[in-house]
Amino acid sequence: MSASSSNTQAHRNPPFRAEHLGSLLRPQALLEARKTKSKDEIADITDKSIKDAVYMQKELGFHAMTDGEYRRHMFWGELFPSLKGMTVTKDVNIDMFRTYVPDIAAFMETNENPDETVICTSKISHSGTSPFLPELKYIQSITPQSEHDKVKLTMPAPEWYHLRYKEGRAYTKDVYVNDEEYFKDIAKAYQAEIKILYDAGLRNLQIDDPNLAYFCSEKMLQGWKEDSSNSKTSEEMLDAYIALYNDCLSTRPSDMHVGLHLCRGNFVGSRHFSEGGYDRVAIKLFQSINVDTYYLEYDTERAGSFEPLKHLPRHKNVILGVITSKFPKLEDREAMKDRILNAAKCVAEGSGESEKQALQRLGVSPQCGFASHEGGNLLSYDDMKKKLALVRSIADDLWPGEP
């Protein structure tokens, strides 16, 4: 097994020219069933809905198929609660949180509390049972074997249940003496999870990480500075998270494509949580994390310019999320193509390639999933299909004949 950081060529197929970020709007029947039906009935409707979603993705020309995350309630699924040492708690006190972390801040602005959270209460280890395996097995069961290496599965960021907590509150001091010890066990658990999925045939993994984009937010960085309980600077925290990522991915085989999705939140009612261009994190993000592909939000001003793409190394890809998944209004196809060509210009400027070569490492997608939360964004199933068709048509124009 060799880690793919040693690869000098960009991984291809995956990623594909036309991508989506994983979660799809759930059909009304499924949402209704989850409120009113029995477990068995829900299971049947879920299976049927996933079949329909896979069929739709094929029809629309998408190759990195997902199950729409229909088995989950939220995009992060059940990984953390499934780990030994992690406990789901409803005993939530706002004092335990970094209230300047954008999703926590957003909850507070609307006078809501996160109604439950996951916290480490004893030494962390993988249970040996993957909560994502049933998702993978099912989509494999309804697609031909020849397509299994394209199937995409998404996973939450390894620091998801760390950044939100005040220093020393993500775990108790009698369990871990410092972050480094805690991260070491999180990494081991991720390695175990990734191995289970790889052995079951997964070759296309996407890690969803709003937290890293928070390090682009002026407001969050200011809050960090003012919080006297932080012993690390925000830069040091970011470095520690990058080291955690690389540890999590250190044993993944090189024929497993790993992508990283950054965004600024995608919550019920099409809400976002943070803003700020990638400039602040670009060098570390692109050059220090050992992933193959970045799925970046680029649908609004919030994400800033394409300038940071100058730091993208030659062996990495970027999928440009220029189409919004938050609202139904369709973007202008020609304008989006121009944006992607402008992005290629920035990539080329940084890498010394021609714009044409740089374009070979790009793709197009919606900026985020359509339903990070089961309730989904403010658009209809039909609107979503139109968005996906638009993504496909832009890809066909820019990269004719390519998947």
- Chain contacts with Zn ion (rule: CB under 5 A): 263, 266, 368
Task: Select 46 or 266, whichever has its Cβ closest to Zn ion.
Answer: 266
CB of 21 to Zn ion, least distance (A): 6
101-122 in b/e burial notation, b at 16+ Cβ within 10 A? bbbbbbbeeeeeeeeebbbbee
Separation between Cα atoms, residue 388 and residue 106, nearest integer Å: 29
Q: Which residue's CB comes closest to Zn ion?
A: 263
CB of 331 to Zn ion, least distance (A): 17
Pick 4 or 266: Cβ nearer Zn ion: 266
The distance between the two most distant Cα atoms of the chain, rounded to a whole number of Å, is 59
In the complex, what is the shortest distance from the CB of residue 144 to Zn ion, in angstroms, rounded to a whole number? Answer: 29
Min dist CB 32 to Zn ion, Å, is 26
Smallest separation, CB 75 to Zn ion (Å): 8
Count of positions (residues) in the chain = 403
Lookup: tokens for 262: 């950054």
b vs e for 242-276, b when ≥16 Cβ sit within 10 Å of the residue's Cβ? bebbbbbbebbeeebbbbbbbbbbbbeebbbbbbb
Cα 52 from Cα 238, distance rounded (Å): 40
Nearer to Zn ion, 224 or 298 (CB): 298
Q: Which is nearer to Zn ion, 182 or 278 (CB)?
A: 278
Question: Are the beta carbons of 54 and 401 closer than 8 angstroms?
Answer: no
Q: Are 49 and 399 in contact (CB under 8 A)?
A: no
In this complex, which beta carbon is closest to Zn ion, that of residue 4 or of residue 274? 274
Nearer to Zn ion, 62 or 176 (CB): 62
Query: Do the beta carbons of residue 334 and residue 315 sit within 8 Å?
Result: no
Q: Find the shortest distance in angstroms from Cβ 303 to Zn ion.
A: 11
Question: Between residues 136 and 263, which has the closer beta carbon with respect to Zn ion?
Answer: 263
From the CB of 3, what's the least distance to Zn ion, in Å? 25
Burial of residue 338 (number of CB atoms within 10 Å: 0-12, 13-18, 19+): exposed
Rg from Cα positions in the chain? 20
